[in-house]
Amino acid sequence: MNANLMDKIVALCKRRGFIFPGSEIYGGITGFWDYGPLGVELKNNIKREWWKSMVHQRDDVVGVDAAIIMNPEVWKASGHLEAFTDPLVECRVCHKRFKFDDNVEMSGHAEDELRKEKTAHMQLWTEPKVFNLLTEVFLGVTEPKQKAYLRGEITQGAFVNFENIVSSTRVKIPFGIAQIGKAFRNEITPGNFTFRSREFEQMELEFFVEAHEKEAERWFTKWKEERMKWYVSLGMDEKKLRFRKHADTELAHYAKAAEDIEYEAPFGWSEFEGIHNRGDWDLSRHKLNYKDEETGKEFTPWVIETSGGVDRSTLFFLIDSYFEDAKRVVLKLHPRLAPYKVAVFPLLANKPRLVEKAKKIFKDLSAHFVTVYDGRGNIGKRYFAQDEIGTPFCITVDFETLENDTVTIRDRDTMKQERIKTSGLVSFIGKKIL
Ligand code: GAP
């Protein structure tokens, strides 16, 4: 494991306000993380790009935003009460608890460090005990309180609204329902920073197709390709991405087939999106059908699902974009993902006319792009600070600006500077970013 890189990412996230340990002033809480000012921008940009490509740029997908807590009957019908479980073992030597899996030594995709720790005293494990991953909550103020669950996958919110969506929109099979939202799992071993958390966000598409093996396979392949392309289009290194097909023995209870998109993280190849053929599992369990208005044919559609993790994508975009040399640390984030698109500096912070002009440019640009004003330290330090958080452009207002209304604009990746008219800034930056 490249522990060094992981340590650097964790430290940068804390130092620069991307990700903080949850409830840190009370000693933290395992498996929960808070996103700081830059983290929330990055995460929102990832979600916005996903929504744009999955909903706005398609005519066959609509969105939904379902409640986190649903009638517990949903989880009975979906099979999660029975089958959404992990087996847990305890090591009799170090008393650590681990998720038990048969192929713990061989699995090339598990997180390496954890695997080493886990296998150290394998012969002395207790027998595996099975635990459900759903998080219980209790509703109401009088006893007995009503037991419910925080959703373990956002997915079911799309299925329970299937009829509402078909009747309130003009969707026709094949079509999809997209959703982004929080999910909760009582993970036995949270770890690897945000990778395995107990509260996390998912971005999912449930795509409904004709009930035929061949049709489902066609869409499964199509969605696999689309999803891989999306990560690459936002700058993720293709060489660090791969698909991994699930063996029959590891398929989730709802899946007929599944392939993960994995990233080569410092802790080993790791899943951050799953493409699943859920067949008619969910709709038939919820007793839901689709009626074709033209033909009158009624059937239970099959579902192809793309289920991505927002937090894991955020982590892998951060890791993938990290670059350092002797002089600087740079997050080479795609401009559409970068928290700030542009930073504006006065050359000297003690010259009121430079400050006034820089603040005016900041105000004008912030109507178009997420912009930051920085007047601290010297120019070198400001460039260093903006590179480290991935800001693609830095604008400096100097004495020449006061004479001819031009500024220098510096490119994060090439470090080249150009002098341009302030009136051309929006179109210059817009062309490179949008
Ligand atoms: N609806 C299908 C589903 O939930 P999954 O493979 O269990 O499938 C999908 O989860 C994605 O959700 C994963 O690829 C991962 O990105 C994210 N995810 C799952 N468990 C997670 C956890 N404990 N922490 C962070 N992300 C998680």
434 falls in which pLDDT band (50, 70, 90)?
confident
Distance separating alpha carbons of residues 161 and 105, to the nearest angstrom = 42
Q: What pLDDT sits at residue 125?
A: 81
Q: Is 309 in the pocket of ligand 1 (CB under 6 A)?
A: yes
Please check whether residue 355 is in contact with residue 346, taking contact to mean a CB–CB distance below 8 angstroms.
yes
* Rg from Cα positions in the chain: 25
Report the separation in Å between the CA atom of 309 and the middle of ligand 1, taken as the mean of its atom positions: 6
Q: What pLDDT sits at residue 340?
A: 98
Beta bridge partners of 322: 331
Report the separation in Å between the CA atom of 308 and the middle of ligand 1, taken as the mean of its atom positions: 7
Average pLDDT over residues 129-134: 89
For ligand 1, atom 15, the nearest C-alpha belongs to 309
Q: Is 273 in the pocket of ligand 1 (CB under 6 A)?
A: yes
Average pLDDT over residues 422-430: 97
Task: From 198, 202, 224, give the residue whose CB has the most ligand 1 atoms within 8 Å, as the site to mutate.
Answer: 202
183 pLDDT more than 90: yes
Q: Is 246 in the pocket of ligand 1 (CB under 6 A)?
A: no
pTM above 0.75, yes or no: yes
Beta bridge partners of 304: 207, 277
Q: What pLDDT sits at residue 7?
A: 97
Q: Is 99 in the pocket of ligand 1 (CB under 6 A)?
A: no
Phi/psi at 336 (nearest 5 deg)?
-70, -20
Mean pLDDT of the chain, nearest integer: 94
The pLDDT tens digits for 213-258 are 999 999 999 999 999 999 999 999 999 999 999 999 999 999 999 9
Residue 372: both structure tokens together: 């930051």
Task: From 312, 315, 316, 317, give the residue whose CB has the most ligand 1 atoms within 8 Å, as the site to mutate.
Answer: 312
The pLDDT tens digits for 259-312 are 999 999 999 999 999 999 999 999 999 999 999 988 999 999 999 999 999 999
User: What DSSP assignment string belongs to 133-175?
Assistant: -PEEEEESSSSSPEEEEE-SSTTHHHHHTHHHHHHHS---SSE
Q: What pLDDT sits at residue 423?
A: 97
The pLDDT tens digits for 60-71 are 999 999 999 999
Task: From 188, 200, 244, 263, give the residue whose CB has the most ligand 1 atoms within 8 Å, as the site to mutate.
Answer: 200
The pLDDT tens digits for 100-117 are 765 454 344 445 566 666
Q: Is 200 in the pocket of ligand 1 (CB under 6 A)?
A: yes
The two beta strands, 135-139 and 268-279, are: unpaired
